[in-house]
């Protein structure tokens, strides 16, 4: 379908010339001989491009430009002006015109400017549609759940989205912390700004400061050009610090200063660059315990913990599983060209019994894999990995029974808590009300861990047994 262009000029000769020139470029051309006539046509339809003279009787081109911006924000405008009236063109450009043409206009110059304007319009509309798609994808409506814990999460998202408060999102791995962060961003006033995210657990310490704050050319070996950091590139938007507990202690003080003073300094520079960034942080660790162990700064914790959203593990909201399954089946049917129509009751029974150490992410992976490999239109237990069955059996067999010894009861409780926390010893110890050292010694008693290596191997590597 050809692009539509409206030519607005009260000079019939200029109007005819432009209409003829553009029609030869296979564009759909309409004409108006005044701004008032142009506005009548704009009320009836949307044009891709408007080319208008500045000086006209009645409503002039600058006022027409202002009205077009409000009535048809996707329409691109080009202003025409006489040689001695370049000031009008400058004012038009400041008001949002894409480009200007100087009269008398030539065919070649007109075609070149029109081509650039229509390409700009295409990219502008495409970018808007992508933003809207992302907004829909990461809106709170895409967070699935009817359980009471999830309704509390939804209420918190709505409450904090319109503010600029720093948010700390806590929860086990796989519960959807980044999805909540994006929902906060895209439901708030910064939705048109950038959303940047950094996985603090995956970045080597040597690169961390440069990644966050940027660097100048020559700041260190191989710094061959200036580079903006994530704080700069997310200016006017949101920066997600995913798994903030993994930030090296040496950098926590620098991060705290940035959050307090709201400016950054690139590596190799003394220049202070102001930033306007909303920070959202996530963690799957219990930060008060990390503070007590000397792994996290207390002052940084209070700076990021303005508002806390705690995501419940999937095992605590099993009533949401049917809705989640329906959502993932629909998505992965569409993505893979499959037509799975239902999930058997026996599968849902296994889902209810399973502990879900990987939470919603694990459920999503199960469904995607089952849809890709299924031979029929109904998913059965045979379509799922064996750990779904064995994990459910472990859950059923776990528990306290009459006649058990105190030692065995204690062992069952510790192992069940450790499993419930996805193998995270720090959180399990906190839930049990014992120290991490006591938990390690208990595991050693059960022949599961060596007492002197458990902590060192986890804490040195940063692995969270998630």
pLDDT score of 374:
92
Residue 104 has pLDDT above 50, yes or no: yes
Which of these ranges, 88-102, 207-221, 319-333, has the smallest mean pLDDT? 88-102
Tokens of 208: 């961390």
The residues, ordered by sequence, that sit 6+ positions from 396 with a Cβ below 8 Å of its Cβ are: 353
pLDDT recorded at residue 447: 62
pLDDT of residue 212: 93
pLDDT at 394: 54
**Is the whole model's pTM more than 0.85, yes or no?**
no
pLDDT over 60 at 363, yes or no: yes
**Whole-Å CA distances, 149 to 233, 287, 324, 357:** 34, 21, 15, 18
Q: What is the reported pLDDT for 139? A: 47
How large is the average pLDDT for residues 207-231?
A: 88
Q: What is the pLDDT of residue 148?
A: 87
B/e letters for 220-252, b = 16+ CB within 10 Å, e = fewer, are: eeeeeeebebbbbebbebbbbbbbbbbbeeeeb
Cα 365 to Cα 215, 237, 337: the distances in Å are: 39, 31, 17
- What is the pLDDT, as a whole number, of residue 253? 93
The pLDDT > 70 percentage for the chain reads 88
Report, as an integer, the average pLDDT of 108-114.
91
| pLDDT, position 461 | 37
User: Which residue, 58, 103, 96, is CA-closest to 78?
Assistant: 96
The pLDDT value given to residue 160? 95
d(CA 319, CA 188): 29
List, in order of start, the domains of the chain with CATH numbers.
4-134 (3.40.50.2300), 140-310 (3.40.50.300), 316-385 (1.10.8.60), 406-461 (1.10.10.60)
Nearby residues of 239 by Cβ (< 8 Å), 6 or more positions away: 196, 197, 198, 230, 231, 277, 278, 279, 280
pLDDT digits (tens, 9 = 90+) for 233-268: 999 999 999 999 999 888 999 999 999 999 999 999
pLDDT at 403: 57
Per-residue pLDDT averaged across 340-361, rounded?
A: 92
Q: pLDDT at residue 117 above 80?
A: yes
Range of lowest pLDDT (104-108, 166-170, 179-183, 454-458): 454-458
State the chain's mean pLDDT as an integer.
85
pLDDT of residue 244: 95
Q: Give the 3-state secondary structure of the chain.
A: CCCEEEEECCCHHHHHHHHHHHHCCCCEEEEECCHHHHHHHHHHCCCCEEEEECCCCCCCHHHHHHHHHHHCCCCEEEEEEEHHHHHHHHHHHHCCCCEEEEECCCHHHHHHHHHHHHHHHHHHHHHHHHHHHHHHHCCHHHCCCCCHHHHHHHHHHHHHHCCCCCEEEECCCCCCHHHHHHHHHHCCCCCCCCEEEEECCCCCHHHHHHHHHEECCCCCCCCCCCEECHHHHCCCCEEEEECHHHCCHHHHHHHHHHHHHCEECCECCCCCEECCCEEEEEECCCHHHHHHCCCCCHHHHHHHCCEEEECCCHHHCHHHHHHHHHHHHHHHHHHHCCCCCEECHHHHHHHHHCCCCCHHHHHHHHHHHHHHHCCCCEECHHHCCHHHHHHHHHHHHCCCCCCCCHHHHHHHHHHHHHHHCCCCHHHHHHHHCCCHHHHHHHHHHCCCCCCCCHHHHHHHHCCCCC
Q: What is the pLDDT of residue 462?
A: 40
What is d(CA 28, CA 43) in angstroms, rounded to the nearest whole number?
A: 17
Distance, C-alpha 30 to centroid of its chain: 42
Query: Residue 405: what pLDDT?
Result: 66
Q: Look at residue 141 in the predicted model and tell me its pLDDT.
A: 46
**Confidence class of residue 324 from pLDDT cuts 50, 70 and 90?**
very high
As a whole number of angstroms, the distance between CA 375 and CA 372 comes to 9
pLDDT in tens, 410-456: 887 888 888 778 778 888 888 888 888 888 878 867 666 544 333 33
Confidence of residue 135 (pLDDT cuts 50, 70, 90): low
- Residue 416, pLDDT score: 82
Whether residue 140 is predicted with pLDDT greater than 60 in this model: the reply is: no
- The pLDDT confidence band at residue 457, using thresholds 50, 70 and 90, is very low
């Amino acid at each position: 379908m050809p692009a539509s262009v409206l030519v607005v000029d009260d000079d019939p000769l200029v109007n005819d010339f432009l209409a003829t020139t553009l029609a030869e470029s296979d564009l759909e051309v309409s004409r108006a001989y005044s701004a008032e006539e142009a506005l009548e046509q704009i009320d009836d339809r949307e044009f891709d491009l408007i080319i208008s003279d500045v000086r006209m009787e009645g409503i002039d081109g600058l006022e027409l430009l202002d009205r077009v911006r409000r009535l048809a924000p996707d329409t691109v405008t080009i202003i025409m002006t006489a040689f001695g009236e370049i000031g009008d063109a400058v004012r038009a450009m400041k008001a949002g015109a894409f480009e200007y043409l100087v009269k008398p206009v030539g065919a070649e110059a007109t075609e070149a400017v029109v081509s650039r304007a229509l390409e700009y319009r295409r990219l502008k509309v495409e970018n808007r549609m992508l933003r809207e798609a992302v907004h829909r994808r990461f809106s709170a409506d895409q967070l699935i759940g009817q359980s009471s814990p999830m309704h509390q999460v939804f209420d918190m998202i709505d409450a904090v989205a319109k503010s600029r408060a720093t948010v700390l999102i806590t929860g086990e791995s796989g519960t959807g912390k980044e999805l909540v962060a994006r929902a906060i961003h895209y439901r708030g006033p910064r939705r048109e700004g950038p959303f940047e995210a950094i996985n603090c657990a995956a970045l080597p310490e040597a690169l961390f400061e440069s990644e966050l704050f940027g660097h100048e050319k020559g700041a260190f070996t191989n710094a061959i050009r200036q580079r903006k950091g994530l704080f700069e590139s997310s200016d006017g938007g949101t920066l997600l610090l995913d798994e903030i507990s993994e930030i090296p202690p040496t950098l926590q003080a620098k991060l705290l200063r940035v959050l307090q003073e709201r400016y950054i300094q690139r590596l190799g520079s003394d220049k202070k660059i102001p930033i306007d960034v909303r920070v959202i942080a996530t963690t799957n660790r219990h930060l008060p315990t990390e503070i007590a162990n000397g792994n996290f700064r207390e002052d940084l914790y209070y700076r990021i913990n303005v508002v806390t959203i705690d995501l419940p593990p999937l095992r605590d909201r099993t009533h949401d599983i049917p809705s989640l399954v329906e959502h993932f089946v629909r998505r992965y049917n569409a993505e893979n060209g499959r037509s799975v129509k239902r999930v058997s009751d026996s599968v849902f029974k296994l889902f209810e019994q399973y502990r879900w150490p990987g939470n919603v992410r694990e459920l999503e992976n199960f469904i995607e894999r089952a849809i890709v490999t299924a031979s029929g239109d109904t998913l059965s237990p045979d379509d799922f990995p064996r750990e779904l069955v064995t994990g459910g059996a472990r859950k059923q067999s776990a528990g306290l029974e009459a006649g058990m010894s105190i030692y065995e009861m204690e062992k069952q409780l510790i192992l069940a808590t450790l499993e419930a926390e996805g193998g995270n010893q720090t959180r399990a110890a906190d839930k049990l009300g014992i120290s991490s050292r006591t938990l390690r010694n208990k595991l050693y008693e059960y022949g599961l861990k060596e007492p002197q290596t458990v902590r060192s191997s986890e804490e040195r590597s940063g692995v969270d047994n998630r």
